[in-house]
């Protein structure tokens, strides 16, 4: 597509009507919104019937002690039974649950019957290690089937897991082990990353030398790469020695719906990571419902693939709990999209006939940068729904995704949610919603979200402000682990509780800026911390970034507001140029003019700095707070969740040349 036709397409604000075949057979119809609006709690009680309960809940929501919610509190269930055993009992034991694809090209498929045996053995093994209901277990593994098995085994015995992304350092792992006071760590010798075995166990050994980790009794080690591994006798135990000899029988115990399921730390883009606590009944209800509704899942025929890592909430909700509760067949891939070649993802889509594909904007932009010819080499005709999550997706990337991956016929669902919300909250529904490039659009049935101004007043269509959730939802976080006060302060203090016609209204503040367009559709504008104040105008970093990447020479951009004596804040942009573009004299001026033309002169960046890389979290999000530190000549804040800390040194070394006024 030429740049001109792309510009035209975006200027038209084109919408894409749902494909007729999808609309005719969609899992959810437009009536769901009305039904949920008329009786929100009834709607969720109905969705809870997707699960198999050992004791049916009679109560839906207890909101008598806000903001501490209880959902389905008198119900009892076992999460692992719901994700595995009941499918086998329903005659689906031979259905593939997981097609595992290792980075070096090894592959392995596990049916639901296989998964049941593996989870039972792992649950017996954890019990032999002395793990009891309520004990925390840290999981630090690559993307291998044992990661899913370990999570389900913990769920099965009621031991909350804390999954720590396998790319994190010993420091990040140690702080999470300390905060959750974990008793057991499950890890592996290593995993394959970018064509090489990459060790994991040494980071565990190092983390366990830190004070506050003494309560870790055992380290269960999966053999993945076969590399040399230091051994602590009496503490370390091989998975294949302990788990493989266990019985394949394990009777699941039913736990109350508010029994903790996991703690997961947020990615730390805005500060010190928060240990988000999720429980079982409400969480599983919402992830199962949303996975069914948002992706229009047909478990008997679909092959679903979410490229996230199990170390993030997307991996918890949309690799493990949602898809497996629904009896889906899914792909699990260990490696990166460009190993050994930049078509690796599309090769996997072709191999398994993937029908539903869920990934992040940062990955989509990387694929755009690598070129349209790469996906064109593969047969992607099986795809019917594409999803995006993690950041606002710029319209160019949205259109590229739909056109080059979805052959211009699949809907793209832009799903807004957070570690805290547990499940998807705002998204179009395939077959129902006319989609708009770049907008998450509408709250799902049963979800109440809006945009408010500084005084907590709902803004009219066409205006911007802060995204809030105005009613509790089943998969909401219950607190920040060990810190109820931070839970209150971070999420509930900003906009409430205030008086409303019905009494005291509690509004959950998501921390994200948003606007409503003239149709009332919601557009996410990035974190509130990322909204800039320039000469009295609020300008979102996302909008300036989107304008920059619409220039043909720019592959990626990150924008921050730096304190400025004249204008309060000055817009400072860091850009990665496209492969062929060079850092010529006039380029910075050309880009400034380009942004001014797209958004108006007030949004013209004061400084633009071409860089080779941007600081990203391991989940692929740009850490703007670090760029702000750089732009304001401050010492860098917490960098433990950064993929590669040398990126920051590289950027800092280039800074003196950045002042182009």
Is 266 one of the binding residues for ligand ATP (CB under 6 A)?
yes
Query: Which range of residues in 209-217, 246-254, 386-394, 649-657 is near ligand ATP by CB under 6 A?
Result: 386-394
Is 98 one of the binding residues for ligand ATP (CB under 6 A)?
no
The Cα-based distances of 82 to 48, 87, 90, 326, 331 in angstroms read: 12, 8, 11, 9, 20
Is 362 one of the binding residues for ligand ATP (CB under 6 A)?
no
Q: Which is nearer to ligand ATP, 258 or 512 (CB)?
A: 512
Is 268 one of the binding residues for ligand ATP (CB under 6 A)?
yes
CB burial of 296-317 (b: ≥16 within 10 Å; e: otherwise) equals: bbbbeebbbbbbbbbbbbbbbb
**Ligand-binding site membership of 551 (annotated):** yes
**Ligand-binding site membership of 193 (annotated):** yes
Among residues 150, 182, 385, 389, the one that binds ligand ATP under rule CB under 6 A? 389
With residues binned 3-state (H G I as helix, E B as strand, rest as coil), the percentages for the chain, rounded to 5, are 35, 25, 45
CB of 423 to ligand ATP, least distance (A): 12
| Tally of CB atoms within 10 A around 89 | 13
Distance of alpha carbon 614 from alpha carbon 177, whole angstroms? 29
Q: Which is nearer to ligand ATP, 204 or 560 (CB)?
A: 560
Residues 609-648 that bind ligand ATP (CB under 6 A): 619, 621
CA 88 to chain centre: 29
Q: Which is nearer to ligand ATP, 592 or 621 (CB)?
A: 621
Q: Which is nearer to ligand ATP, 262 or 416 (CB)?
A: 416
Nearest to 318 by CA among 288, 345, 293: 288
Among residues 416, 466, 473, 495, the one that binds ligand ATP under rule CB under 6 A? 416
Among residues 225, 415, 470, 540, the one that binds ligand ATP under rule CB under 6 A? 415
Considering only the C-alpha atoms of the chain, give the largest distance between any 2 of them, rounded to a whole number of Å. Answer: 71
CA 346 to chain centre: 21
Is 556 one of the binding residues for ligand ATP (CB under 6 A)?
no
**Ligand-binding site membership of 535 (annotated):** yes
The Cα-based distances of 580 to 394, 401, 464, 577, 593 in angstroms read: 22, 21, 37, 8, 21
Q: Which is nearer to ligand ATP, 146 or 420 (CB)?
A: 420
Q: Which is nearer to ligand ATP, 176 or 621 (CB)?
A: 621
For residues 11 and 397, the answer to whether their CB atoms sit within 8 Å is: no
Would residue 268 be called left, alpha or beta, if left means φ above 0 and alpha means ψ between -120 and 50 degrees?
left
User: Residue 267 burial (CB < 10 Å; 0-12/13-18/19+)?
Assistant: buried
CB of 525 to ligand ATP, least distance (A): 8
Is 394 one of the binding residues for ligand ATP (CB under 6 A)?
no
Nearest to 507 by CA among 454, 461, 462: 454
CA 224 to chain centre: 25
**Ligand-binding site membership of 459 (annotated):** no
Residues 429-458 that bind ligand ATP (CB under 6 A): 440
Is 269 one of the binding residues for ligand ATP (CB under 6 A)?
yes
Q: Which is nearer to ligand ATP, 225 or 479 (CB)?
A: 479
Residue owning tokens 């503040």? 509
**Ligand-binding site membership of 272 (annotated):** no
CB of 527 to ligand ATP, least distance (A): 5
Is residue 581 classed as helix, strand or coil in its secondary structure?
coil
Report the relative pairing of strands 607-610 and 568-577 from DSSP bridges.
parallel
Nearest to 93 by CA among 123, 114, 119: 114
Among residues 151, 308, 332, 510, the one that binds ligand ATP under rule CB under 6 A? 510
Q: Which is nearer to ligand ATP, 392 or 446 (CB)?
A: 392
CB of 540 to ligand ATP, least distance (A): 11
Among residues 118, 296, 512, 564, the one that binds ligand ATP under rule CB under 6 A? 512
Q: Which residues are annotated as a binding site for CoA?
A: 193-196, 314, 535
Q: Which residues are annotated as a binding site for ATP?
A: 390-392, 414-419, 512, 527
Q: Which residues are annotated as a binding site?
A: 193-196, 314, 390-392, 414-419, 512, 527, 535, 549, 551, 554
| Site residues for ligand ATP per CB under 6 A | 266-270, 273, 313, 389-392, 414-416, 418-419, 440, 510-512, 524, 527, 619, 621
């Amino acid at each position: 597509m030429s740049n001109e036709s792309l510009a035209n397409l975006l200027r038209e604000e084109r919408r894409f009507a749902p494909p007729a075949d999808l609309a005719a057979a969609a899992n959810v119809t437009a009536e769901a919104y009305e039904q949920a609006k008329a009786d929100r709690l009834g709607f969720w009680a109905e969705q809870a019937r997707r699960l198999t309960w050992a004791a049916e809940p009679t109560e839906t929501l207890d909101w008598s002690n806000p903001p501490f919610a209880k959902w389905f509190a008198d119900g009892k269930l076992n999460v692992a039974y719901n994700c595995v055993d009941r499918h086998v009992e329903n005659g689906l034991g031979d259905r593939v649950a997981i097609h595992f694809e290792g980075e070096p090209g090894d592959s392995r498929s596990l049916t639901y019957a296989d998964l049941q045996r593996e989870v039972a053995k792992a649950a017996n093994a954890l019990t032999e290690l002395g793990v009891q209901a309520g004990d925390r277990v840290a999981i630090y593994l690559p993307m291998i089937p044992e990661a899913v098995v370990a999570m389900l085994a913990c769920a099965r015995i009621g031991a909350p897991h804390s999954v720590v992304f396998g790319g994190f350092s010993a420091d990040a792992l140690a702080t999470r082990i300390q905060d959750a006071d974990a008793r057991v760590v499950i890890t592996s010798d290593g995993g394959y990353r970018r064509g090489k075995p990459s060790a994991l166990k040494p980071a565990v050994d190092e983390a366990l030398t830190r004070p506050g980790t003494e309560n870790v009794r055992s380290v269960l080690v999966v053999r993945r790469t076969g590399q040399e591994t230091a051994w602590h006798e009496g503490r370390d135990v091989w998975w294949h020695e302990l788990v493989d000899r266990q019985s394949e029988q394990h009777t699941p115990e039913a736990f109350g719906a508010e029994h903790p399921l996991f703690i997961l730390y947020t990615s730390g883009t805005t500060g010190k990571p928060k240990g988000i606590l999720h429980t079982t009944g409400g969480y599983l209800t919402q992830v199962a419902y949303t996975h069914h509704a948002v992706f229009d899942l047909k478990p008997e025929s679909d092959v679903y693939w979410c490229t996230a890592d199990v170390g993030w909430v997307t991996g918890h909700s949309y690799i493990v709990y949602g898809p497996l509760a629904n009896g889906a067949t899914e792909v699990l891939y260990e490696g990166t999209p460009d190993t050994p070649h930049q078509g690796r993802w599309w090769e996997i889509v072709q191999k398994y006939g993937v029908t539903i594909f869920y990934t992040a904007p940062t990955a989509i932009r990387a694929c755009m940068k690598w070129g349209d010819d790469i996906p064109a080499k593969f047969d992607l005709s099986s795809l019917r729904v594409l999803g995006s999550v993690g950041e606002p997706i710029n319209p160019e990337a949205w259109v590229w995704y739909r056109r080059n991956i979805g052959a211009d016929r699949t809907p793209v669902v832009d799903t807004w949610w957070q570690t805290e919300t547990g499940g998807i909250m705002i998204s179009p529904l395939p077959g129902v919603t006319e989609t708009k490039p770049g907008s998450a659009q509408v709250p799902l049935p049963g979800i109440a979200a809006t945009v408010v101004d500084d005084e907590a007043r709902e803004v009219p269509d066409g205006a911007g402000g802060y995204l809030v959730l105005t009613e509790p939802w089943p998969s909401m976080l219950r607190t920040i682990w060990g810190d109820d006060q931070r839970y209150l302060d971070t999420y509930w203090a900003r906009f409430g509780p205030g008086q409303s016609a019905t009494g005291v209204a509690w509004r959950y503040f998501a921390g994200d800026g948003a606007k409503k367009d003239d149709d009332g559709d919601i557009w996410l504008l990035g974190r509130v911390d990322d909204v800039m104040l320039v000469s009295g105008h609020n300008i979102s970093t996302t909008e300036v970034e989107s304008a920059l990447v619409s220039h043909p020479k720019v592959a990626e951009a990150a924008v921050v507001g730096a304190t400025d004596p004249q204008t309060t804040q000055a817009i400072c942009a860091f850009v990665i140029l496209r492969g062929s573009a060079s850092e010529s004299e006039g380029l910075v001026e050309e880009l400034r003019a380009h942004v001014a033309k797209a958004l108006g002169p007030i949004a013209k960046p004061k400084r633009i700095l071409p860089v080779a890389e941007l600081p990203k979290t391991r989940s692929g999000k740009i850490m703007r707070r670090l760029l702000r530190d750089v732009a304001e000549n401050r010492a860098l804040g917490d960098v433990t969740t950064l993929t590669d800390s040398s990126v920051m040194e590289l950027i800092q070394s280039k800074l003196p040349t950045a002042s182009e006024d």
